[in-house]
Amino acid sequence: MPKISIVVPVYNIEKYLDKCVQSILDQTFTDTEIILVDDGSSDSSGKMCDQWKEKDSRIVVIHKENGGLSDARNVGIAQAKSEYIGLVDGDDFIKPDMFEILYRNIRKTKADISMCGFADYYQSGVRNDCDDKNTIYKWNQEETIQRILIGKQQSVHAVTKLYKKSLFDKAKYPYGKVNEDAFIIMDILDQIQTAVYTPYAGYYYVHRAGSICTGTYKPSDKARLEAYEKNLKYIQKNWPHLESYAQARYLDAHIVLADKMVLNHLSASHPDHKLVFSYMRRHYIRALVSPAIKLGKKIRITLMLLNEGLYRKYAGKVSGQV
């Protein structure tokens, strides 16, 4: 039985899939099974999965009707045979020793989750890379929740972690929802005793046009607010002394959503626009004084509330796009 099952959801990513799978096969930790879940792709991605299966016996391929990222992850996790679960999105890739480091740390500390950092991969280059493999932190449950809410060392991202598979017996990714990582994170952390973290950026998060995170605004994007409201309610009930951090994340979710609305020229008369901007106006002072809101987000909320046209110019300069 392999020690780690690596689940990779695949949907219409033929341009990226080979690099992703090759990076997993190149891992220095080899006692793995690699589960490629073809989520009803309409391009050649499904065929490419089958071709990869022929090249390496560790690869398992599941073809299914399209159900979204959450459903693909749930199906892959259910099929996994290992004690530990790793998740990699099919349009990203990883450093050769990521899973070796995550596995070493989780076994050494007997933690429930092992976490690492990630680097942002753009066409113009890589940002936020870190090669520090030796620094590790072991956190108890409260410390882990607090640091994920703060979002500096770790965040809700599913893909930078190695989990005990048993954590997914109760925690399931929400079918049909975007921002699925935020929806499930407290369900997972509610079950743990300890976590281990290294700042080593073992994961490359690929920023591409048209992805779930960077595409045009859709009403379904409001799931971000639903997810962070769910987390806020969990914190209020179970960890009330951490509420200020959860409130900051809920406010941050509004800022992220507003950014998408403004850059996509969503009308100020649209109900979703009114909902989000009304909340930001009411909590603007909180955003300015909160240490959990990054300076860049404080600048963004200020400009968006001041003048949306001015904000679009600012955002274009920051991203290198107009």
* 280 assigned to some structural domain: yes
Mean pLDDT, residues 140-152 taken together: 95
Q: Are residues 202 and 223 in the same domain?
A: no
* 262 assigned to some structural domain: yes
Short-list 144, 119, 80, 279, CA closest to 200: 119
What is the model's pTM?
Answer: 0.93
Is 115 within 8 Å of 188 (Cβ atoms)? no
Residue 292 has pLDDT above 90, yes or no: no
Q: Are residues 236 and 118 in the same domain?
A: no
Going by DSSP bridges, is the β-strand pair 125-127/32-39 parallel, antiparallel, or unpaired?
unpaired
- The three-point CA angle 211-155-149 to 5° equals 130
Q: Are residues 37 and 168 in the same domain?
A: yes
- pLDDT tens column, 76-113: 999 999 999 999 999 999 999 999 999 999 999 999 99
Residue 8 β-bridge partners: 36
Task: Give the pair of three-digit tokens for residue 86.
Answer: 């790793």
94 CB contacts (<8 Å, ≥6 apart)? Answer: 23, 24, 27, 88, 202, 203, 204
Task: Give the pair of three-digit tokens for residue 72.
Answer: 């693909």
- pLDDT tens column, 1-16: 999 999 999 999 999 9
Domain with 180 in it: what CATH number? 3.90.550.10
Question: Which structural domain, as residue segments, surrounds residue 68?
Answer: 4-206
Q: Are residues 197 and 263 in the same domain?
A: no
285 phi/psi in degrees, rounded to 5: -65, -40
Element (H, E) at 201: strand 194-206
105 phi/psi in degrees, rounded to 5: -70, -40
CA gap 14, 26 in Å, rounded: 19
Question: Considering the chain, what percentage of its residues have pLDDT values greater than 70?
Answer: 96
Residue 320 has pLDDT above 50, yes or no: no
158 CB contacts (<8 Å, ≥6 apart)? Answer: 73, 87, 180, 181, 184, 185
Residue 319 confidence class, pLDDT cut points 50, 70, 90: low
